[in-house]
Chain A
Amino acid sequence: MRRALRDFLPVLAVAAAFLVAWKLLVVIGGYPAFVLPAPEVVATRLVGAWRDGVMQPHVLTTLSEVLLGFAIGSSLALVTGYTLARSRLAERLLSPYLVAAQATPILALAPLMALWFGTGLVSKVIICALIVFFPIAVATMVGVRSVDRQLLEVGRAFRATPLQVLTRLEIPGALPSIFGGIRVGATLAVVGAIIGSSSRRWSPSPRLESPSTG
């Protein structure tokens, strides 16, 4: 209990410092609420919206978009990353498209997705999946490639089947790197869902043209 408190105290302290700094900025700068609302104003609004039942359906929608998109994107990424790591041919054939897809801002794709797949769940899940895909695929590729060759030789010496090499050596060996990719991917999934939602009213969309979303 005391240890939990000691571990948690710094976290609380930093959070408190952040809120105080925010409040001070509002007070000293004298900003009106529509430029920079004070923390308690935001909190009141949040609690109010939650009480009125405005938030819940939206939270649920976004959450399901995030989870679905993440699940699909990361599964595809794991398979692709592994294939890229193990097959030079696959890497040569696929990597130009992967890099090109990554270089294209997802934000630019969002309106197209809405056009192709509608403004419902599907387009947002696809955007989430796309944005999650790249970091996890790359992390998987790097992780599988970096599995110690000497350990793979041990697997061979003890007659591991290809499936056993995958499950007993390659996956455990690549896991730290894969988790790194998943950490990045999971946060990006949320970004993806929000980008997806912002293109809800795609045409004509004053929101898209406004600087707050672009």
Chain B
Amino acid sequence: MRSFGTNATHTGGSAIKAPRTAVLARPARDRRAPAIEVRHLAFTYPGDPPRPALDDVSLEVASGELVAVIGANGTGKSTLLKLVGGLLEARSGEVAVLGRAVREPDARVGFVFQEPRLLPWRTTLENVAFPLELAGRPRPERDGRARDLLALVGAADVGGLRPHQLSGGTRQRAAIARALALDPGILLLDEPFSALDALTRERFNVVLQSIWRSTQTTILLVTHSIPEAIFLADRVLVLAGRPGRVVTEVPIRLPRPRTLADQDATMVSEAASRIRAALGAPPDPARPAGEVM
């Protein structure tokens, strides 16, 4: 288990500070084997008519990297995430996670859905402990770990409450804590903050950044918010078209930890305009994936 704690206290109050330990020069690509590897992945939902969702998507996410996937509705962002998470079965192309082909959900991958999806009949603590319970961990361990995780996401005091007693933001915090329960090497986030208001959302991005830094998890984040993608990600992959394909990759070379004030930097607006252009452009695999800066 990795250590939690020092950063946990930062996530709670209004003044969310960056973690003390600054990771200098995090390499955009790790030399180790990629945590997530997707090769020529295509997916079509069966039905009448069949709905193609993804077409020939290839990507790599290095260990410890935070990659955002951005795209309009219907470009297959969530489908991509479900394929990586093993919730959908890839029939065309390859998906591998931590060196193993994905056939079913992997214990080393945590999933955060668009909705909190907490079990309404359980307390928040029991919800966070749910994956540990399924994995057969003993009760004392479950409870201790769930408490630590709630503290990590800045929701230490709501363990005894039921989901309906929590605000939308706190519910999503609990969902993130639950996804971290089995100490996954990879975290998949499917528009986790899309239901939150803009201000709460900004705060959550800071929280997520600090969780990512303290747990050193590889994160694949699906979003439809350009500022969110730029604030959080090492790289932004732009999905476009129906079925969706990766049209552009935009590296974000902002130093870590990033602060909300960074959003005003020139390079941010340049990256944003580049992403925006790619979102509007038709799929063009021949386009060279150049850098912003």
Q: Residues of A with Cβ closer than 8 Å to B?
A: 148, 150-151, 153-161, 164, 168-169, 172-173, 175
Which stretch, B29-37, B113-121, B239-247, B261-269, touches the partner chain A?
B113-121
Q: How far is the CA of A144 from the CA of B135 in the complex (A)?
A: 24
Contact of B119 among A153, A156, A157, A172 (CB under 8 A): A172
Known: A159-B135, A164-B134. 17 other contacts (CB 8 A): A148-B117, A150-B113, A154-B113, A156-B87, A156-B105, A157-B105, A158-B105, A158-B111, A158-B130, A158-B131, A159-B104, A159-B131, A161-B134, A168-B119, A168-B130, A172-B119, A175-B121
Chain B residue numbers with a CB within 8 Å of A168 are 119, 130, 133-134
Q: Check: B85 CB closer than 8 A to any chain A CB.
A: yes
Q: Which residue in chain B gives the minimum CB-CB distance to A175?
A: B121
Q: Which residue in chain B gives the minimum CB-CB distance to A158?
A: B131
Q: Check: B107 CB closer than 8 A to any chain A CB.
A: yes
Given A160-B134, A168-B133, A168-B134, A154 and B105 contact (CB-CB distance below 8 Å): no
Which of A148, A157, A164 has the largest number of chain B CB atoms within 10 A? Answer: A157
**A-B contacts, CB under 8 A, total:** 45
Q: How far is the CA of A151 from the CA of B85 in the complex (A)?
A: 16
Q: Residues of B with Cβ closer than 8 Å to A?
A: 85, 87, 104-105, 107, 111, 113, 115, 117, 119, 121, 130-131, 133-135, 182
Q: How far is the CA of A172 from the CA of B113 in the complex (A)?
A: 21
In order of increasing CB-CB distance, the 6 nearest A-B pairs are: A158-B131, A157-B111, A154-B117, A172-B121, A160-B134, A150-B117
CB distance from A23 to the nearest CB of B (A): 47
Listed by A's residue number, 6 A-B pairs whose Cβ atoms lie within 8 Å are A148-B117, A153-B87, A154-B113, A155-B134, A157-B105, A159-B134
Chain B residue numbers with a CB within 8 Å of A155 are 134
Chain A residue numbers with a CB within 8 Å of B133 are 168
Q: Which residue in chain B gives the minimum CB-CB distance to A152?
A: B117
Given A164-B134, A168-B133, A159 and B117 contact (CB-CB distance below 8 Å): no
- B115 close to A157 (CB less than 8 A): no
Chain B residue numbers with a CB within 8 Å of A160 are 134
- A157 close to B85 (CB less than 8 A): yes
Q: How far is the CA of A1 from the CA of B136 in the complex (A)?
A: 45
CB distance from B116 to the nearest CB of A (A): 10
Which of B104, B131, B182 has the largest number of chain A CB atoms within 10 A? Answer: B131
- B113 close to A159 (CB less than 8 A): no
Contact of A151 among B104, B117, B134 (CB under 8 A): B117
Chain A residue numbers with a CB within 8 Å of B135 are 159
CB distance from B270 to the nearest CB of A (A): 37
- B87 close to A157 (CB less than 8 A): yes
Q: How far is the CA of A153 from the CA of B111 in the complex (A)?
A: 10
- B105 close to A169 (CB less than 8 A): no
Q: How far is the CA of A172 from the CA of B111 in the complex (A)?
A: 22
Given A150-B117, A151-B119, A158 and B87 contact (CB-CB distance below 8 Å): no
CB distance from A126 to the nearest CB of B (A): 35
CB distance from A96 to the nearest CB of B (A): 28
Q: How far is the CA of A168 from the CA of B121 in the complex (A)?
A: 10
Chain A residue numbers with a CB within 8 Å of B130 are 154, 158, 168
Chain A residue numbers with a CB within 8 Å of B121 are 172-173, 175
Chain A residue numbers with a CB within 8 Å of B113 are 150, 153-154
CB distance from A153 to the nearest CB of B (A): 6
Given A150-B113, A168-B133, A168-B134, A159 and B119 contact (CB-CB distance below 8 Å): no
Chain A residue numbers with a CB within 8 Å of B87 are 153, 156-157
CB distance from B243 to the nearest CB of A (A): 22
Chain B residue numbers with a CB within 8 Å of A164 are 134
- A158 close to B134 (CB less than 8 A): yes
Which of B87, B117, B135 has the largest number of chain A CB atoms within 10 A? Answer: B117
CB distance from A14 to the nearest CB of B (A): 33
Q: Which residue in chain B gives the minimum CB-CB distance to A153?
A: B87
Q: How far is the CA of A158 from the CA of B133 in the complex (A)?
A: 10
